[in-house]
Chains A and B, each alone.
Chain A
Amino acid sequence: EVQLVESGGGLVKPGGSLRLSCAASGFTFSNYGMNWVRQAPGKGLEWVSYISSRSSYIYYSDAVKGRFTITRDNAKNSLYLQIHSLRAEDTAVYYCARDETYCRNMNCSDAFDVWGHGTMVTVSS
């Protein structure tokens, strides 16, 4: 069964740090780019970061650039998100999602075809 399982969330004080993990199984992890997407309580989805299959390409949303670091360990089938300088607005469920790039007519789209169940990060004093 294709599966992603996040862990590492919790309650953190403003300014604190946290490392989220995502364990992949049921597919060849090293063949896929991966993403982190977050969802604040009662709000919509927000894309956070992407890492290519061999870590050659890494991108961040403007909201987290400079504070978040995405990494992966293909030998361990694992994806990570290191979060620093946490703010109240970082409070959210954090999902990892597998990236499948589809192209047609020289135009491409990144579909997130497998998602984990999410891990909750709460930033509060």
Chain B
Amino acid sequence: SSELTQDPAVSVALGQTVRITCQGDSLRSYYANWYQQKPGQAPLLVIYLENNRPSGIPDRFSGSSSGNTASLTITGAQAEDEADYYCSSRDSSDDHLVVFGGGTKLTVL
């Protein structure tokens, strides 16, 4: 099965911009989705189909992709954005399956 690789931890100063990346061969063929998970809570979809925000997600969240790397950018990070972030896509070895990245813990300083 495919793998998606994320940096385990990233930090950002309050109000600054941060980019969280996700690398994997499947991203050359399939669009990424991004989820936010706060401690003790279920994941929340923040970006789908690479760069689309569900209703209710602030516009400081955006997504992009290039080659085998998908990125989630938070422009003007807020304290409430501190969370774990996971990317996902279809599995390039079997597109009926879904694969998640290992997650990135975002700390807002």
Contacts and interface: CB of A to CB of B under 8 A. Distances in A.
Interface in A97-125: 97, 100, 102-104, 107-113, 115-118
B50 A109 contact: yes
Contacts of B96: 50, 57, 59
Secondary structure call for the B interface:
strand
B97 A61 contact: yes
B77 interface: no
Interface residues of A, number: 28
B3 to A, nearest CB: 12
A45 B48 contact: no
A113 B48 CA distance: 9
Nearest to B44: A115
Contacts of A95: 42-43
Given A95-B42, A102-B52, A110-B90, A47 B33 contact: no
B1 A62 contact: yes
Contacts of A73: none
B97 A46 contact: no
Contacts of B29: 107
B49 interface: yes
A104 B49 contact: yes
A77 B1 CA distance: 32
B89 A45 contact: no
In the A-B complex, list the 4 residue pairs whose CB atoms are closest, starting with the nearest.
A111-B48, A109-B31, A115-B42, A47-B98
Given A109-B90, A110-B90, A115-B44, 20 more contacts: A37-B100, A44-B100, A45-B35, A45-B100, A47-B88, A47-B99, A59-B97, A61-B1, A62-B1, A95-B43, A103-B49, A104-B31, A107-B29, A107-B31, A108-B31, A110-B33, A111-B45, A113-B45, A113-B48, A117-B42
